[in-house]
Amino acid sequence: MSKEKLVMIGNGMAGIRTLEEIIDREPDLYDMMVIGEENYPNYNRIMLSNILQKKMTTAEIITNDYDWYQANRVTLINHNPVSRIEVADKQVVTADGRVFSYDKLILATGSRAFILPVEGSQLPGVLGFRTIDDTAEMLAAANKYQKAAVIGGGLLGLEAAKGLHDQGMDVTVVHLAEWLMETQLDRKAGELLQKDLEAQGLKFAIGKATAKIVGRQRVSGLEFSDGTSLEADLVVMSIGIKPEISLAQGTELKTNRGFVVNDYLQTNLKDIYAVGECCEHRGIAYGLVAPLYEQGKVLADLLTNRETEPYEGSKMFTQLKVSGCDLFSAGNISEDEEVKGVESFDGIANAYKKIFVKNGKLEGVVLYGDTSEGNRYYNILKKEQSLEDFKMVSLLYSGADETSGNVAEMPDDEMICGCNGVTKGKIVEAIHEHGLTSVAEVTSRTKAGNSCGKCKGLVGDVLAYTLGDQFEAAGPVGICECTTLTRDQLVISIRQKGLKTIKEVRHALNFSNLDGCPKCHPAINYYLNMIYPQEHADEKASRYVNERMHGNIQKDGTYSVIPRVRGGKTSPQQLIKIAQVAEKYQVPLLKITGSQRIGMYGVSKEDMPKIWEELEMTSASAYAKAFRSVKTCVGKNFCRFGTQDSMGLGIKLETKFEFIDTPHKFKIGVSACPRSCVESGVKDFGVIGVENGFQIYIGGNGGTEVVEGRLLTTCATEEEVIELCGAMLQYYRETGIYAERTAPWLERLGFEQVSEVLLNKDTQKVLNQELAEAMAGKQVNPWEDVVASKEKVAELYAVERV
């Protein structure tokens, strides 16, 4: 039995996504053909601005290469657009006269840049910004000419303007409205955006209507309706798009602005469908990627004979990143008699937030400067959640850790990738089912993050939440794919340029992803803490969620609470307190940990602040990249084999160095004799008591790859041990790569070099002085006594109500 022929006109993002959805459902159902106009396979049009800014190459934005078409038995006719449709014969005819028949036809012709119908619009040097070829022409012009005008201050226009500016052109953005991005931003946010872009070198002609484009052999400038003019060697039109519907000519296809479709993406003609920017649904032709992908899923269900919910339109949102200017917009942002706005502005951080409410529900939101809560607002908006339980201040200020997006608290149906409609639950399921350990793997499997890419940080947070330490091990040690800088280059640049915040580092050092990612956020935060111990305000939101929460998230979403028990020494009063609290809050499991502490497992987030308050104990930093625990035996005071007071020395070490940040966890074992009951030989800093003092071992690591420590020296006194430990801690802090254990650190630097540094009394003294300064600068640190006050507890463990 022969297959039906499915022909798709157009090789863009919406159309190919529809084919992907069909292939996922029924890969052998159709004989598929794609006929495209451009001379490329399918690519991510959203990333054209990255090519213009030379952050990516053309090859890097190809989402479906030629091998994909071949592997999925999709015939691709490239660079040969369809010139007409012969509906009666169910045939399409290409520009070179080739004829192909179809059983079902999908129109995915996309849209074209709208070119102002003014005199001079056909001059060389006037173009839109929609394709790879447009981008190549803009780059060529930037190498030859000096002045550019971008007509249109919308999202794409601003990205084009910044890209041309980065290539050395003098760029002026010409915008008819009173402020930039007037359909996505209110006046305040638009003016903030303009101010920031002006500071970066862009120029603006606001409220200007282009009356004429002047030039002879090539464009030379613009004339405005108010009589003023502007010189320009290149004019980029970015004032909107118009659906490509020219194929409707000579047919009975119903069109308005686009091909008119119903809720199942069917046109008025049998077996002809339309998807993407070329179609018009309920009077709306969408220009953003998320609704186009939603349409593709519905059409794929229909064409594979599956029951499907109708497409009923999309909630719109916009997120833009232009050289450090973060903004987010979603929903209706126009105030009237029914829609009321509530706003806040932080002049110091230059962060603006405005929410729009109608009939007790969120109607729209605008964020500028800090878009970390964009996902939270978008989900409230999409779910049409009632705001009855919220005060306006609680909507404006979540009071929760923002970088993680409160992943632990998100329900499974919470949207992570709005462009592709990928929820937290779908990502977690894919991680477990397919053993995914990186953002790239999640993107490949679920498509989360493969469009605009803005959600990749949140995808990483879901990975970190789901995998814990396994996520750390999956990626590169230290810095990430966002930059080519090594650890040493990064630290040197931070010092030389005097960079003081994570955001400054990413932008000043030209990270390819200016938003950063879950790998570089905590790494940069650590390096800044290490370089400026008394100046850098620890950016807690950039720490891993386990560190921020003073507990580890368990597989069921509950937490562990592990209070500090120095040297493993406890008391009846402490044990009674732990038992009372555990009984009161019905803690499911109490466990003696491998580090001689008592862990409380299965604690709900809501109970954590109350438990910490009633325990009156400090956090043990059990999951932090910091000085962890000191494991001890009972020592000579009780053990007949003991030669030294191991427990007393262990408590001194833990009391002195607790809470200090290190590149990775740092563990100590103090044994009173060579029997080494606490496995001192596989600790980062191991101490073994002998008759004449203490043998010191360094660089031992337990875990999946056990590494024996190397014998460094023998110390005669406890004071010498403490000084040597302090010197090693600081040397490791200053030279270690973030997320690098002491075993690979010791191998990388060389045991001889480390020994020479640590055993030199002068160097040892300097290192301990530097460590003392770092500890003094971190008196208020992420692991300080969390029961210092009820207010502090509430701040650290604020429970998000959304």
pLDDT in tens, 481-501: 788 888 888 988 899 889 999
Q: Distance of alpha carbon 269 from its chain centroid, rounded?
A: 43
CA distance 169 to 175: 18
For residue 633, say whether it is annotated as part of any ligand binding site.
Answer: yes
pLDDT score, position 400: 42
- For residue 332, which phi and psi values (nearest 5 degrees)? -90, 120
pTM: 0.66
Mean per-residue pLDDT of the chain: 87
The response to whether 715 counts as a known ligand-binding position is: no
φ and ψ at residue 475, rounded to 5 degrees: -105, 180
Structure tokens at 336: 């009237």
Q: How far apart are CA 364 and CA 353, in angstroms?
A: 11
Q: Are 716 and 669 in contact (CB under 8 A)?
A: no
Q: What is the pLDDT of residues 117-175, one digit of tens each?
A: 999 999 999 999 999 999 999 999 999 999 999 999 988 899 899 999 999 999 999 99
Task: Give the three-class secondary structure for 188.
Answer: helix
**Res. 464 pLDDT band, cuts 50 70 90:** confident
d(CA 353, CA 344): 5
Domains observed in the chain: 4-110+243-303 (3.50.50.60), 126-239 (3.50.50.60), 317-471 (3.30.390.30), 476-542 (no CATH), 548-615 (3.90.480.10), 627-777 (3.30.413.10)
Number of Cβ within a 10 Å radius of residue 789: 11
Tell whether 278 is in a known binding site.
no
Q: For residue 443, what pLDDT is reported?
A: 87
pLDDT exceeds cutoff 90 at 220: yes
What pLDDT, in 10s, does the model give residues 619-656? Answer: 887 778 899 889 999 999 999 899 999 999 999 999 99
CA 301 vs CA 63, 265, 304, 672: distances in Å: 22, 11, 5, 70
| Residue 590, token pair as written in the block | 């109490």
CB count in 10 Å sphere of residue 608:
24
Q: Is residue 405 a contact partner of residue 368, using CB atoms and an 8 Å limit? A: no
pLDDT tens digit sequence for 16-60: 999 999 999 999 999 999 999 999 999 999 889 889 988 888 998
Cα dist. 35→10, 64, 110, 224 in Å?
6, 15, 13, 41
Sheet containing strand 325-331, strands side by side: 317-322, 325-331, 361-368, 351-358, 340-346
Confidence band, pLDDT 50/70/90 cuts, at residue 318? low
Query: Helices H, strands E: what count in the chain?
Result: 25, 37
237 neighbors 257 (Cβ within 8 angstroms): no
Nearest CA among 107, 35, 109 for reference residue 271: 107
Read off the pLDDT of each residue in 672-681 and give the average, rounded to a whole number. Answer: 93
Query: Over the stretch 506-544, which tens digit does the pLDDT of each residue have?
Result: 888 888 777 777 788 889 999 999 999 888 888 877 887
325 is annotated as contributing to ligand binding: no
